[in-house]
Chain A
Amino acid sequence: MAWYHEVASSLGAVFRRRSQDRDLQEEVQFHLEMEAKRRVDSGMTPTQARATARRDFGGVERHKDDTRDERGAGGFFDAWSDVRFAVRSLAHRPGLTLAATLTLALGIGATSTVFSVVKHVLLTPLPYDRPEGVVAVWSAWKGFDRTWLSYDEWEGWKARVAAFSDIALYTDGAATIDGDSPQRVAAANVQANLFSVLGVRAERGRTFTPDEDRPGGPTVALLSHELWERRFGSDPAVIGQKIQVSGNSTLIVGVLPADFKLPIDYSSGRRTDLYAPMQLDATRAGAVPGPAFPRGGASHGFYSVARLAPGATAATANAQLRTLVAELEKFGYMANRSFHAFTIPIEEQITGPVRPVLLIVFGAVVLVLLIACANVAGLLLVRGEARRRELAVRVALGAGSTRLARLLITESGVLATLGAAAGVVFATVTVRLLRSHAPPGLPRVAETSIDWTVLAFALITAVLTALLTGILPLVHAEALAPSRELREGGRGSTSGRARLQWRQALVAVEIALAVVLVAGSGLMIRTVRNLLSIDPGFNADGVLTMSVSTPSNWYPDSIRVVAFWNDLQQRAAAIPGVKRVAAVRLLPLATEMGDWGLTVEGYTPPPNQGTPGDWQVVTPGYFETMGVNVRKGRPFSAGDDMSGPLAMIVNRAFVQEYLSGREPIGVRVRIGARDTTKKYTIVGVAEDVHHNSLTGSVKPMFYATLAQFAAAPGSTRRTMSLVVKTDGDPNALIGPVRAAVRSADSRLAVSEVKSMREIVDGAIGGQRFAMQTLSIFGLVALLLSAIGIFGIVSQVVASRFHEFGIRAALGATPRDLLAIGLQSGLRQAATGLAIGIVAALALTRALHSLVHGVSTTDPLTFVAVVSVTGVVAVLASLLPAARAARIDPNTALRVD
């Protein structure tokens, strides 16, 4: 017997059912007619002949059924009829079906949403070839846990770290695509070998040649796929064409693949749109030529990635770097600064910060799903109660126990399918919301989308859900004895009590799970409050910021740059509602700041250590605009311009570190170590501003004005952020301030328009995300548990209606009855709370890396959790319990 006949027959049975049924009908009809004709021929009356032909054929429909069964695919038709039965019986109870479907949709939808995020952030490979072989290379020393490389270090590691097959440098920046609507885009200067290190080819055209990456090489650029699409309408002719970039005619050599991003893009949340070769001049970039190191140190400013040699790991690379650094220390490179160099696997660097947040959120959503399942299982149990007689009749009529089991599982399967379908719709909406409101500081979350793996996940979840919700009603149906069920009226039976106990257990579990979630969200709420209560040293309220650049082809000297900013500030200040205006080199909490070596008069650093200061360049009015307190001396004024004496303002950390016990005002400071530089005089001391992170320590920092910094040390800042202070909503000023920039110089592009509040929020993005999701899940969990308690108490009150009536008749007051009703709900709540607290104490430890300023077993939080859950339990019990209190003994005793 060949299997393909069977398969073909089964397929025919499923897909050609109608025509096969017609054939069968005709065949049987033919048989009966021919048989009757034969009998008429041998002398019967036609009526008699038809009757006997039919009799001798046997049960026509039964034989037809048997024939259909022989076609195969019987299991399919049985299952189909089960499904149809389940759908019919669910349609009879629309309320229950709707409640169960919505609950499951919530559970499955939320789980699928979080899964899609987890999948895209943690499970989707990075857009590099064999990303496990790519590492980020970092330097670190006192005060800098993870910072840029110097050119000498790159040369040294390239030549001497055998674990690297290649190592490349890049820096980030910005550029303007000129034209009628100039556009400011994120840009990067990269070494030509960066793309081979990452294993990335151009989608169109080519990446850079080594020749293009030489000093004085041609002005060429690569476009991101997105920029090519948006700005150039995906026109392939752009490749090989010259466009104006920041005033320079630039040849476009290629377009990068759509999903490509620089490693640094993931943590900065931006997307680099334009790539240019670095064209580094070894003789100028490095302090000493070749793979050698200068004594003392050098300027660090390059990001770096390396490709591991075959067989090498990040650990072998780190071991080799340690050996080299030990050698260098003896030689005197970066002496006494605890200098070291290390690598981090690129995947760990990119997803490392977000991994704990996501895993916690995923754990939380699984708890929500479990609560949803418990709730639906409870609903089905109640329904099972009402259906006992129906099921008993089925058993009495010969439905086997497997048949019954299949029926019940099919029913929860149908519910789970409905729930999953609605859940996927729900997930599609939430994922879209997530994409548009992606929390800043969480790499890759904005890339999330619903794809077939997410659908498969939802399907698997639905199957598990069906089993979880179907199993309890099933256990009860198995114990069904028709003789008893049909004899009893159904009230107060012992199995009914067991069922109630199961429901009570389910509700206790729900509450326990809810407690864990509420405790988690409580801890995160406190963490975020603690973080927000950290005084960052500035006032973010009502401050709008945007970045504006003054390229050298239009602003060849610092005089013109300063004049532009003066002009722009005046225009912006004239906008109604604007209180103060200023400009700053780097916004706090937005971009990390490096330091500059100083010479502070009267201060001698310990041997082989410098006097580094984080350098901030501002325009007069900055301290007032940002609300940075100047504690001593004076803030900058209009007089601190190119012609005025060089004035410096330092932060408190600067005074503590370098000027302790001295009067800071009047101390003279030189930026840089060279004697040729003019000296600044300290005119004020400003409050410490948390620049690099809210929770890190503040390093010594100095401020100089844009105009004077151009004179000494002679650096013209070409990209500054405009800061505008208002009493109202800063976002309302976006249009007018943009217009002010246009009126000052229409060729300039504005980018990174943000309120200072958004920037501060972004600095605590991970914690905020965890807080928001845990709070939503906690609320959902409380709501579901409340529904569970409500159901329990309703059931208890309903099943003891009679008893309450008797009690009322015997003189129980409504208050007594209310108490009895309440008790039935609160007992479960208490059990759930107790279990939940123990579980929460164990599970909230997972939050360890996220919380700030609060212990994961914080007593205050736990007391609050108990109160909140307790209040919810009382409220959920109150409504149905009140029904018990209103019982009129006359009606209650008249029932039956």
Chain B
Amino acid sequence: MPSHSRLGPRAEVLRGTLEMLALKLLNEEPAHGWGLSLRLREISRDVFDVNQGSLYPALQAMLRRGWIRAEWRASENNRRARYYSVTAEGQKQLDAEIAEWNRASAAVNRVLRHAYLGA
């Protein structure tokens, strides 16, 4: 897929994470793109403020895979906005990714701790 080749390997990792975080936030509460982007920035304290636009390809990819669905609804200030919510499949995916993340980060932490202790 052309978009992937244009992103560097680091961005690729970042994007995988972005998808997981978006899925997590949407699972708590359906949101439109801008709302999601805002919450992501607030909660992560602007770590994910690099490029707001990159959220949309990520959402589209998750739509394509059937993890989330989209529908047009009235927003809080009564404008038409596209709301995303997590599907049952997305739920499963999120559980799997969180488990995987926990496993991986625990491993990374163990290695770091070991390296620190060993130094």
Contact = CB atoms under 8 A, between A and B. Distances in A.
Nearest to B58: A70
A858 interface: no
B71 to A, nearest CB: 11
A841 to B, nearest CB: 56
Nearest to B49: A56
A70 B66 contact: no
| Closest 7 pairs (CB-CB, A-B) | A63-B53, A5-B66, A70-B60, A66-B57, A58-B51, A58-B53, A9-B64
Nearest to B93: A1
A30 interface: yes
A71 interface: yes
A67 interface: yes
Interface in B39-86: 49, 51-54, 56-61, 63-66, 72, 75, 79-82
B18 to A, nearest CB: 13
A602 B39 CA distance: 126
Interface residues of B, number: 31
Interface string A50-89: 0000001111101111111111101000000000000000
B2 interface: yes
Contact of A60 (B53, B57, B58): B53
A28 B37 CA distance: 12
A57 B53 contact: yes
A35 B34 contact: yes
A482 B117 CA distance: 57
A6 B64 CA distance: 6
Interface residues of A, number: 32
A21 interface: no
A31 B52 contact: yes
Nearest to A5: B66
A810 interface: no
Nearest to A69: B3
Contacts of A399: none
A65 to B, nearest CB: 8
A611 to B, nearest CB: 91
B66 A2 contact: yes
Secondary structure at the A interface, as helix, strand, loop or mixed, is helix
Contact of A67 (B2, B56, B79): B56
Nearest to A13: B64
Contacts of B49: 56
Given A2-B89, A30-B81, A56-B49, A71 B60 contact: yes
Task: Kindly name the residue among A2, A58, A67, A68 whose own CB sees the greatest number of chain B CB atoms within 10 A.
Answer: A67
A59 B3 CA distance: 14
A74 B61 CA distance: 13
Given A30-B34, A30-B81, A70 B61 contact: yes
A69 B60 CA distance: 9
A31 B84 CA distance: 14
Given A30-B33, A70-B64, A74-B1, 13 more contacts: A5-B66, A6-B65, A26-B80, A27-B81, A30-B81, A30-B82, A31-B33, A57-B53, A59-B53, A60-B53, A66-B56, A67-B57, A70-B63
A9 B64 CA distance: 5
B3 A66 contact: yes
Interface in A13-31: 23-24, 26-28, 30-31
A34 interface: yes
A3 to B, nearest CB: 10
B52 A1 contact: no
A63 B32 contact: no
Contacts of B79: 30
A31 B57 contact: no
A62 B32 CA distance: 20
A27 B33 contact: yes
A63 B65 contact: no
A63 B52 CA distance: 9
Contacts of B34: 30-31, 34-35
Contact of B66 (A1, A62, A64): A1
